[in-house]
Structure 1
C-alpha cells in the first residue's frame, strides 16, 4: 500500500467540505429525498488507520448535526442517519429519506436492525449517546452500525 501523503491538507479539505452549504439540499416546493446519501471517505482512506477512520466519523457527525438543523425547515416527515460499515470505510455514509415519487418505500425499515447494541470501542468516545441511538445489523458479510438522532425523525 502506498503511503498516505498530504494528510494535513486532506483533512483541512474534508472539514471544509462538511459544511452544509456544500450540499444542494434544495427543498423547493416538492422537495424530497429517495435514500439520498453522501460518502466523505469515498476512497476508503480510513481502512488504513483507525485514527484516519475516527477523523472521518467526527466529520460525519459534524455534518449530520448541520443537516439535522437544515432538515427542520423541510416541513415534512423524514428519516436521516449515519451508516458506519465496519469492514469498509468507503461504504460509510449519511442518508436522508422522505416520501418520494420514485417508490413507496417511506418510512424505510431495515430488517434485523437491533437498537441498543454494544457500541464498538472506536465509536464510544465520538458518539454522544444522549443525542443518538446506535443500532447494528448485518448485511451480507458486512457489520453496519446506524447512528440516528433521538429527536425529530422517524426511526428506521
Structure 2
C-alpha cells in the first residue's frame, strides 16, 4: 500500500469543502433537487484505515448540518440524509431530495431498511442515537447505513 502523503493539506481541504459545497448548491425558490448528492471521500481514502474513515465521516456530518441549516429556510419540503457504505468509503455521501420536475418520486422511500439496527463500529461515538436515526440496508454486495436527524420532517 502506498503511503498517504500530504495528509495535513488533504484534510484541511476536506474541511474547506464542507463549506464550499454550500456555495455550489442552489437554494433559491426556483431550485429543486432530484437525488442530489456529494461524496467527500471520492477516492476512497477512508478504506485505508478507520482513523481516516472517521475523519471523513465527521466532515460528512458537518456538511449535513450546514446543508440542513440552509434547507430550513428553503420554503419547500425536502429530504436530507447521509449514506455510509461499509465496504467502500468512496461511496459515502450526503443526499438532498425535493419535489422536482424531472421525476415524480418525492418523498423517496427505500423499502427493507432496518431502522432498529445497531450502530456499526466505524460510526461508534460519532452518532448519538438521541439525535440521529440509523437504518441498515443490505444490497447484493454491500451494506449501507442511512442516517437522518431525528428532527427532519420527512423521513426516508
Whether these two folds match at TM > 0.5 is yes
TM-score, with structure 2 as normaliser: 0.95
Q: How does 1:68-147 map to 2 (within 5 A)?
A: 68-147=68-147
Moved over 3 A (4+): 20-23
Unpaired segments ≥5 residues, structure 2: none
Tell me the alpha carbon deviations over residues 22-48 of structure 1, each in whole angstroms, 9 at most, x when there is no partner.
442222232110000000000000001
RMSD: 1.2
The answer for the alignment partner of 2:50 in structure 1 is: 50
Q: Using structure 1 for the length normalisation, give the TM-score.
A: 0.95
SS of 1:80 mapped into structure 2 = strand
Q: Which runs of 5+ in 1 are unaligned?
A: none
Distance 1:9 1:27 in 2: 29
Q: How many pairs does the alignment contain?
A: 156
Contact preservation (8 Å) 1:134, 1:148: yes
